[in-house]
Amino acid sequence: MRIPAKLTLGDEIRVIAPSRSAQVLKVEMVEQTKIILERLGFRVSFGAHIFECDLQHSSSIMHRVVDIHEAFRDPQVKAILTVIGGYNCNEVLPYLDYQMIAENPKILCGFSDITALSTAITTKCDFITYSGPHFSSFRMVQAQEYQLSYFQKCLMEKNPFSLVASSIWSDDAWYIDQENRHFEAASWKVYSEGAVSGQLYGGNLCTLNLLQGTAYMPDLSNCILFLEDDELVNPAIFARDLTSLLQATTTIKGLAIGRFQRASAMTEEQLHFILDKHPLLKAIPVLYDVDFGHTQPIFTFPIGGNVHINTKELRIQVTIF
């Protein structure tokens, strides 16, 4: 698995909208976020069609494809950030020029619905992509230090690093109200003990499941899965979706589950009930309430990279990224 060149200060980051349009953020919010990234030392450019907005808050498939292609084709662009998630990123997958993208490997980072694009590119083009902050995520003020630290470790540095739990977490709508945030003490939890190394795949569970039966789905045999879902899921839906994914592979070596949003009504009792249904999950390391997904803050991890999970130390070592 190839590793795109690391991001350095002064590099150009291209912002694209392969799912929801940047129009949902409003122009002034986009400009504020651009200034934040510039202050961090980057140059920021935008896809030509990111503000187009149709009945489903997106642009046309072809215009999204054009922006993706231009971002990978432009030699000045060193990394690509997605504006935000959404629902329809998988629409673009049949129309991408994977040969061109494979010839121009570069950082692609986003989460949620972007799981479809990242996973497809890693599968078809044989280079690592990243699940981490959207462009819009950088406008968050409180808890940004944890998020930014791991973004930099994963995308700018070359040495292996350890992922450890944030001391706090929040499920606030910070993008509406930055001032009145509510934080709780955070910790990762262990469902089953163990230590294991392997190749990492994952991201948003319901989005990853959309790729089953397509040419964009990777072989998950003997991988380590990182899975999360958003506020639209509930325990019954998560149970169904997890079962579907586990049935799509012969075995996995480890599992990390991102922290659930409050609206999902997922309790520890419900989660253990779901995990107890699968004998495999009692025999491999399984962590939950891990800092990725739709609560804040989140770390960045490499799709297609290699990690080592150690539940005793509550630590995930990222070794190939």
Q: Provide the annotated active-site residues.
A: 112, 228, 294
Give the number of C-alpha atoms closer than 13 A to the C-alpha of residue 182, restricted to the C-beta side: 4
State how far Cα 104 lies from the chain centre: 21
Distance CA 186, CA 167 (A): 5
CA distances from 80 to 2, 76, 144, 161 (A): 17, 11, 20, 22
C-alpha dihedral sign at 102, 137, 235, 318: positive
Helix H segments across 115-181? 115-125, 144-156
d(CA 284, CA 286): 6
Q: Which residue has the tokens 């692609």?
A: 108
In the block, tokens 């998988």 appear at 90
Q: Nearest Cα to 23, choosing from 55, 56, 61, 58? A: 58
